[in-house]
Amino acid sequence: MTPETADTTVDVLVIGGGPVGENVAQYAVEGTDLTCAILERELLGGECSYYACMPSKALLRPIDVARAAAQLPGISTPHVEPEALLARRDDWVSHYDDAGQVSWAEGAGLRVLRGHGRLVGEREVEVETADGTSTRVRARRAVVLATGSVPVVPEPLRDLAPWTSRDATGVQEVPAQLLIVGGGVVAVEAATWMAALGAQVRMLVRGEALLTGLEPAAGRHVLEALRSLGIGVELGAEVVSASREAAEDTGLGRIHGGGVAVQVRDADATREVTADEILVATGRRPRLDDVGLEAVGLAPANVLAGLLPAWLHAVGDASGEAPLTHWGKYRARVIGQEIRAAATGEAVEPRPTAVPVPQVVFTDPQVAAVGLTEREARGQGVDVVTAEVPYGAAAGTALLRDDVTGTAKIVVDARTGVLCGATFVGPEAAELVHAATVAIVGRVPVHVLRHAVPSYPAASELWLRLLEELPRELRAG
pLDDT at position 272, please? 96
The domains found in the chain, sorted by start residue, are 8-45+98-150+285-344 (3.50.50.60), 153-282 (3.50.50.60), 359-475 (3.30.390.30)
Instruction: Round to whole Å and give the CA distance between 213 and 5.
Output: 47
Reported pTM:
0.95
Can you tell me the distance from the alpha carbon of 10 to that of 4, in angstroms, rounded to the nearest whole number?
13
Cα distances (Å, whole numbers) of residue 240 to 157, 204, 250, 260, 320: 9, 12, 25, 14, 28
State how far Cα 175 lies from the chain centre.
25
Q: Is beta strand 277-280 parallel, antiparallel or unpaired with respect to 284-286?
A: unpaired
Which amino acid, one-letter code, is at 113? L
Q: β-strands 149-151, 284-286: how paired? A: antiparallel
What is the DSSP secondary structure assignment for residue 257, as one 8-state letter? B
Omega into 390 within 30° of 0, i.e. cis?
no
Q: What is the pLDDT of residue 3?
A: 42
User: How confident is the model at residue 446, as a pLDDT?
Assistant: 96
Distance separating alpha carbons of residues 328 and 317, to the nearest angstrom: 7
Residue 257 pLDDT: 83
Sign of the dihedral defined by the CA atoms of residues 242, 246, 248, 254, in that order: negative
Cα distance from N-terminal residue to C-terminal residue, the chain: 61
Q: Which candidate, 151, 163, 170, 148, places its Cα nearest to that of 58?
A: 170
DSSP code of residue 370: E
Q: Is 475 left (phi over 0), alpha (psi -120 to 50) or beta?
A: alpha
Please give the biggest Cα pair distance in the chain: 70
Pairing between strand 359-361 and 312-314?
A: unpaired
Q: Do 37 and 112 meet the contact criterion of CB atoms below 8 Å apart?
A: yes
Buried b (16+ CB within 10 A) or exposed e, 274-300: ebbbbbbbbebbbbbeebbbeebebeb
Which of helix, strand or coil describes residue 463? Answer: helix
Written as tens digits, the pLDDT of the chain (477 aa) is 344 445 799 999 999 999 999 999 999 999 999 999 999 999 999 999 999 999 999 999 999 999 999 999 999 888 999 999 999 999 999 999 999 999 999 999 999 999 999 999 999 999 999 898 999 999 999 999 999 999 999 999 999 999 999 999 999 999 999 999 999 999 999 999 999 999 999 999 999 999 999 999 999 999 999 999 999 999 999 999 999 988 788 889 999 888 999 999 998 899 999 999 999 999 999 999 999 999 999 999 999 999 999 999 999 999 999 999 999 999 999 999 999 999 999 998 888 888 999 999 999 999 999 999 999 999 999 999 999 999 999 999 999 999 999 999 999 999 999 999 999 999 999 999 999 999 999 999 999 999 999 999 999 999 999 999 999 888 887
Q: Distance between CA atoms of 250 and 106, rounded to whole angstroms?
A: 34
